[in-house]
């Protein structure tokens, strides 16, 4: 018997049920309820039948009165179907954090952290059997403690809520769009029963059932749009009727390819062409026909410069485009201006366009005059001076146009904690790699190498993207957003080593490793194939004090930078 191979069973997609307590009887019952009863079972694939999806990817949960089902801001990956009873959705503004009783993050205790000094394995990629068998991470329903709202009547009085009853879906937006939950939802009455479907199941259901797909599409538009618009300051003073008008007349646009697992890398590579070849959402010089609100994805904001285009910034979810022009035109009818910049899609963008007519008739009159964006001055229009608003917008000027192009071409703006190295300060000492290894069981989780632009290198470390592509396609949900701060982490216990996330990631941040046992022998399945797991930077979410790499650099050459706020980046560059 050689010491190199250690045989165990290879993990499968449905090895660990979402809820081990789901029984066939439950599934049978569900199949008789709408919408499952109306689904055409023949459309489902052999490997993922409807009953299988319900058995493995769904669970029944019971809530008491006031118990919180989902919290606004949580990163969750399940959708909910109300089976019986009622639930209330807290509309914006949501409940304060204190009321929601947020759970503690799962960091290691101080003793455990200090104990890493002697408990860290000395060999590479060692996994203990307890780690792999860790079903404790999936809490069973009976054991889970619920968190309750303290004073339900008061909340019902003070906050606007909407009621949901049996047969309604919710949470599908957050599950499918990889975004945070938009609202807090709690149960009313003690007999509330929900079916929680994790998003792998939901995705498959949508794929195979047209009705559900359309239905969810419609809810998505109705619900999300209202809350999303309410979040934007300019729409906050609209009453319900006005808001309804806006919703009705708003248009949707999806540019690029939503379903891009596996294709993203190709798209990203193709993106290294000049901006002119990217699809245009709005063109500089055109008549401003509506305010463009970016819902998800990224768009490039550029201006004509010489014979080309200069990128000023990239807009992400929550940004608006064209508001200033339209507000200017509404006030200065005689000196109307056109779009001052162009908006182009980078990869994939989902936008909502509110037409100018609606803006002028309904929205702008509701806004206080001093809260409107400032008018364009003639010098600005001539291009001789830049106003303050312009300067704040122009991130490209702060960090240098070359660096701006570099970031945009390589899609680095996606990152909320991109690892940036200042090569003129870095002595290549590898203290950062060693610190990362020390914090991750003696395994470094990034490679200190990557694309270089001048003196800036972006290392191959997970950037914890605002729009994480790696989450798409995971068959078991091992890769998910952590509860705190939105970092993306891989649950080693449930990862089956399919390497879809590693292939998806365009930044080569995820690496597949062959795991070993504590004697150093490779763990293999019965056919002697090595068991691999996906590994990546987890932003040291289970340690205290933040990412170890940043702290460990003796020369201040390494920083985890949020690319959505380039001011901090510019300040660091010019320190």
Partner 1 sequence: MKGFLRRRLLWSSLLLGASIAAVSAFVLWASTMSRAAFLTGWLLFGVMLLLTSYNWFKKIPYLPLGRSEVWLEFHLYAGVFTGVLFLLHVRGRWPTGWFELVLTLLYAVVMISGVLGIIISRGWPKRLTARGGEVPFERIPLIRRQIREQAEALALNSVAESKSATIAEFYTRRLHAFFRSPRNLLSHLVEIRLPLNSLLNDLNDLNRFLNESERKVAAKLVELVRQKDGLDYQLALQLSLRLWLFIHIPVTYSLMLWAIAHIVLVYGFSAGAR
Partner 2 sequence: MKEQLPSPDFDRSRYERPNLNWECGWACDGCPCRIGPSPTGECRATAECRPVLVKNQGEEKGRWKCTRSKEHGGPCTDGPLPDGGCACPIPKCRPRRSLRNRRGRLCVAVAAITLVMLLIGFCGPWQWRFISAGPVSSQHHGVVFSQLKHAWPGSEGCGACHTAAQVNVSTERGDISKWLRAAFNSRPGPLEPHRLHQVTPGMMTEIDNNCLTCHSGHQFHQPNVTRDHSCSACHREHQGHGRMLPPADAECHSCHGSSSTMEASRRKGEQLPLSAFDFRSTNGATIFHTPRPVNGYTAVFNSFAENHPDFQIHQQKLKDPNSLIFNHALHLGESVNRAGQRLSCADCHAPDASGMHFQPITHAKHCQSCHALQFDARNPQMRIPHGDPANVRSYLRSLPTQYADLARRSGITAQADTEKFVAEQMRHLRERALNGEDLERQIFFAADPSKQLAPGMSVTSAGLSTRAQFAGCAYCHEVKPGGADGLPRVTPVSIPDRWLVRGEFNHAKHVIVSCSECHAAASSRATADIILPTKQSCTECHSPKGGVAQNCSTCHSFHTARGPQARQLIAR
Nearest-approach distance from CB 489 to partner 1, in angstroms: 17
Q: Lay out the site mask for partner 2 across 417-456 (x = CB under 8 A, - = otherwise).
A: -------------x--xx--xx---xxxxxxxx--x-xx-
Q: Which lies closer to partner 2 via its Cβ, residue 401 or residue 454? A: 454
466 binds, among partner 2, partner 1, none (CB under 5 to 8 A by kind): none
Whether the link from the prior residue into 91 is cis, omega within 30° of 0, is no
Q: Which of 296, 148, 330 is nearest to 225 (CA)?
A: 296
Q: 183 phi and psi, to 5 degrees?
A: -140, 160
Nearest-approach distance from CB 481 to partner 2, in angstroms: 24
Does position 429 bind partner 1 by CB under 8 A? yes
Q: Which 522-541 positions form the footprint of partner 2 (CB under 8 A)?
A: 522, 524, 527-530
Does position 411 bind partner 2 by CB under 8 A? no
Does position 439 bind partner 1 by CB under 8 A? yes
What is the C-alpha to C-alpha distance for residues 87 and 63, in angstroms, rounded to an integer? 10
Q: Which lies closer to partner 2 via its Cβ, residue 123 or residue 386? A: 123
How many binding residues for partner 2 (CB under 8 A)?
A: 35
Does position 122 bind partner 1 by CB under 8 A? no
Signed CA dihedral, 539, 540, 544, 548: sign only: negative
386 binds, among partner 1, partner 2, none (CB under 5 to 8 A by kind): none
Q: Lay out the site mask for partner 1 across 71-90 (x = CB under 8 A, - = otherwise).
A: --------------------
The residues, ordered by sequence, that sit 6+ positions from 98 with a Cβ below 8 Å of its Cβ are: none
Q: Which of 102, 230, 434, 512 touches partner 1 (CB under 8 A)? A: 434
- What count of Cα atoms within 13 Å lies in the side-chain half-sphere of residue 2? 7
Q: Which of 520, 542, 562, 570 touches partner 2 (CB under 8 A)? A: 520
511 binds, among partner 1, partner 2, none (CB under 5 to 8 A by kind): partner 2
Task: Give how far Cα 100 sits from Cα of 94, 139, 148, 167, 272, Å.
Answer: 10, 20, 8, 26, 45
Q: Which of 314, 310, 344, 491 is nearest to 415 (CA)?
A: 314
Does position 508 bind partner 1 by CB under 8 A? no
What is the C-alpha to C-alpha distance for residues 465 and 266, in angstroms, rounded to an integer? 18
Nearest-approach distance from CB 5 to partner 2, in angstroms: 5
Tell me how many degrees the CA angle 537-539-542 measures, rounded to the nearest 5.
110
Q: Lay out the site mask for partner 1 across 512-531 (x = CB under 8 A, - = otherwise).
A: --------------------
Do 5 and 528 meet the contact criterion of CB atoms below 8 Å apart? yes
What is the C-alpha to C-alpha distance for residues 1 and 5, in angstroms, rounded to an integer? 9
Q: How far apart are the first and last CA of the chain?
A: 59
Do 26 and 170 meet the contact criterion of CB atoms below 8 Å apart? no
Task: Give how far Cα 206 sits from Cα of 220, 346, 519, Å.
Answer: 13, 26, 45
Q: Which lies closer to partner 1 via its Cβ, residue 39 or residue 399? A: 399
Which range, of 34-42, 122-130, 273-281, 363-371, touches partner 2 by CB under 8 A?
Answer: 122-130
Nearest-approach distance from CB 488 to partner 1, in angstroms: 20
The residues, ordered by sequence, that sit 6+ positions from 64 with a Cβ below 8 Å of its Cβ are: 146, 148, 187, 190, 192
Q: 300 phi and psi, to 5 degrees?
A: -100, 130
What does the binding site for partner 2 look like in residue numbers (CB under 8 A)? 2-5, 122-124, 430, 433-434, 437-438, 442-449, 452, 454-455, 460, 508, 511-513, 520, 522, 524, 527-530
What does the binding site for partner 1 look like in residue numbers (CB under 8 A)? 113-114, 116-117, 423-431, 434-435, 438-439, 447-449, 452, 454-455, 457, 540, 543-546, 548, 550-557, 571, 574-575
């Amino acid at each position: 018997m050689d010491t190199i191979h250690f045989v165990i069973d290879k993990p499968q997609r449905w090895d660990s049920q979402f809820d081990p307590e789901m029984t066939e009887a439950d599934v049978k019952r569900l199949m008789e309820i709408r919408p499952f009863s109306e689904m055409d079972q023949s459309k489902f694939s052999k490997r993922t039948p409807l009953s299988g999806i319900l058995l493995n990817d769904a669970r029944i949960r019971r809530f008491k009165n006031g118990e919180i089902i989902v919290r606004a801001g949580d990163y969750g990956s399940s959708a909910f179907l109300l089976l019986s009873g009622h639930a209330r959705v807290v509309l914006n503004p949501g409940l304060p954090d204190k009321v929601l009783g947020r759970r503690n993050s799962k960091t290691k205790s101080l003793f455990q952290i200090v104990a890493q000094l002697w408990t860290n394995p000395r060999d590479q990629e060692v996994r203990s059997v307890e780690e792999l068998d860790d079903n404790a991470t999936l809490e069973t329903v009976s054991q889970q403690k619920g968190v309750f709202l303290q004073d339900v009547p008061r909340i019902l009085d003070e906050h606007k809520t909407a009621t949901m009853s049996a047969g309604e879906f919710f949470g599908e937006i957050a599950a499918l769009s990889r975004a945070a939950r938009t609202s807090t939802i709690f149960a009313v009455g003690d007999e509330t029963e929900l079916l929680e479907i994790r998003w792998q199941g939901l995705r498959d259901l949508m794929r195979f059932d047209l009705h559900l797909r359309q239905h969810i599409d419609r809810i998505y538009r109705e619900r999300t749009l209202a809350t999303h618009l309410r979040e934007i300051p300019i729409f906050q003073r609209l009453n319900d009727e006005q808001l309804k008008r806006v919703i009705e007349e708003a248009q949707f646009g999806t540019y690029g390819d939503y379903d891009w697992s596996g294709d993203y890398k190709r798209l990203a590579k193709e993106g290294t062409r000049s901006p002119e070849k990217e699809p245009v959402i709005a063109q500089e010089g055109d008549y401003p026909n509506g305010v463009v609100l970016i819902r998800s994805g990224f768009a490039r904001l550029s201006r004509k410069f010489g014979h080309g285009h200069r990128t000023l910034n990239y807009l992400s979810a929550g940004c608006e485009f064209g508001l200033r022009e339209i507000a200017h035109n509404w006030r200065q009818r005689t000196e109307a201006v056109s779009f001052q910049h162009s908006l182009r899609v980078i990869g994939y963008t989902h936008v909502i366009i509110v037409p100018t007519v609606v803006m002028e008739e309904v929205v702008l009159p509701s806004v206080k005059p001093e809260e409107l964006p400032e008018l364009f001055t003639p010098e600005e229009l001539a291009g001789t001076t830049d106003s303050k608003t312009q300067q704040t917008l122009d991130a490209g000027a702060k960090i240098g146009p070359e660096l701006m192009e570099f970031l945009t071409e390589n899609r680095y703006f996606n990152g909320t904690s991109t690892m940036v190295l200042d090569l003129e300060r870095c002595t290549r000492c590898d203290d950062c790699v060693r610190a990362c290894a020390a914090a991750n069981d003696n395994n470094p989780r990034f490679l200190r190498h990557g694309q270089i632009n001048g003196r800036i290198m972006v290392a191959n470390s997970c950037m914890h993207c605002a729009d994480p592509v790696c989450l798409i396609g995971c068959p078991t949900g091992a890769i998910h957003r952590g509860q705190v701060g939105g970092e993306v982490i891989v649950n080693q216990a449930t990862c089956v080593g399919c390497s879809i996330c590693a292939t998806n990631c365009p930044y080569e941040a995820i690496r597949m490793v062959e795991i070993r046992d504590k004697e150093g022998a490779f763990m293999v399945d019965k056919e002697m194939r090595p068991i691999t797991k996906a590994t990546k930077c987890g932003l040291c979410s289970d340690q205290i004090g933040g990412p170890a790499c940043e702290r460990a650099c003796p020369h201040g050459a390494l920083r985890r930078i949020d690319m959505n706020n380039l001011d901090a980046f510019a300040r660091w560059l010019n320190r």
